[in-house]
Structure 1
Amino acid sequence: MKDLKTYLESGILELYVLGDLSREEIREVEQSIAQYPEVKAEVEAIENALQAYAISNAIEPSESVRSKILNSLETSPVEEARVTHLRPVESSSSFYKYAFAASVALLLVSVILLINLNNRLRESHTQLAVLQAENQQFSNRVNYMDKELEDNKKFLEIYQQPGQYKLVNLKGSPKAPAARMTVAFSPQKEEVMIDLSSLNMPSNDDQHQYQLWALVDGKPVDLGVFDSTDDHSGMKRMKSVKGAQAFAVTLEPKGGSVNPTMEQMMAIGNI
């Protein structure tokens, strides 16, 4: 998937968990789950979040109330004997029978009402959790769109003001002849950014990352790391540098190295 981040924040996974997708959309999501571990992890996180919220807000009757209800439905042998002893005539016996039956019926109605009320409360909490999840998803999309807009503004600023930024085209080394990328460098602002739309580097595994270097007075200066799978739109800001004379990219262990591995030189370009 070319833009996995956008897909994760699109809201379709929340709708999948809630069962609000068509069969075709469900089939596509399940294919993505099988293909991408990130998608599977996100679906599990959404399911766990909704389940945790529903459980944490569930309302259960207290143990004392539950015991009183159950005990009231049972009559001990001693109580039965006591009732039998106090029945002097048939009319009194009938009265107690009807009174007891009415009490049990009223108790059962009360229990049913409590169960229905509890179920409605659980449904309300579940609906609230769904609304909160949808609101968070919408907020994430807005933040992502704001970032994209800011990146695009920066992209236009760089290419519309060539006097402030120098565009350095890095070309592939013998180790990676097809590699290429463009670095925008502002000597005045000491800013360094990668034009992600120009990024064309061989895929790196989970244990390695590409590291950008600036050559200053013949010495390499670390400018940060990036991946070949970074979102190919907008600009990626790297570390600041002053007096750069050239830029180079090497393949390093994940997180970067103190010094460049020259045997893993992937691309280089002079200012």
Structure 2
Amino acid sequence: MPNISDNEPDSTPESSPASPLGDWGAMPAPRAGADQAEQEEAGSAANADARGVPPQGPDSTQTAVFPPVTAGDTQVMPPVAPGQDADAEGAGAGAGDAGAADGAATDDAEADDAAVNNADESRRNSLGVWSVVTGALLLFPVAIVLGHLGLRANKRGEANNRPVALAGVILGYVGLAAAIAGVAIALFVVSPNMAAQDDDNAAKVDVINIGSAAVAQSSASDQLPEVTTVDGGYAVGDTSLPAELEVPGTVTLDGSSASDWCLVLSYEGGNDSAVAYSSTSGLVDGATCS
């Protein structure tokens, strides 16, 4: 009878050939479904550990802060603990306050510099002001000098009122020109007219004096008196009279009787050139008695 055991297959598993990696070389076969998801999560955690980043998950309370990427290798900041956010905000606020204080100090320094510059630019503004004042007081040469000094100070940055200094210079030159014109008019127009008027007035005084002396002598002698000019004056009969007229003149006496005559004094340099005196009416307007 045949042996049944000889026909039955051997149920003892055959041993697999030995792996050259030993026990590490035998990798379990991946499982489908949940086993594969667990392996992917484990791989992600391993990569995160390699980069120094804590695992992120729904139960994680830590936050990873990444600074900007620099030109070198990417740097990863260590995790920030929950209490460090407030410290960072406080440090930022302190830095902001310090920046604001520095800005205020800078503004104050700039304001001080501006004040100093303004003081330097205005320390000689008085030159222009005094130029206008002296010009208004008719001190025109002084106004011109001070105005030019003020313009020079503006050019050097020592003053900042150039329009005022320029106004003083203009006022000085205009006033000086007006003063010179006034003097010229007085010398060449007004003065000759005044001199001529003075000669006319002096001639009238002389003819009145001569006529009065002639009336007295003609009444006393009932004759026409003799009237002539002498050095420094006039002679009426035996009476000498001083001359008020400073220019040369001549005297003529014409009449028909001792009570009817006309005295004429002619001279040069006056506006009228002659004055007359009548025995009946006295001083006559014009060069004749008629």
For the criterion TM > 0.5, the same-fold answer is no
Higher relative contact order at CA 8 Å, sep ≥6: structure 1 or structure 2? Answer: 1
Normalised to the residue count of structure 1, the TM-score between the two structures is 0.26
Structure of larger gyration radius: 2
Of Structure 1 and Structure 2, which has the larger fraction of its residues in strand?
1
TM-score (norm 2): 0.24
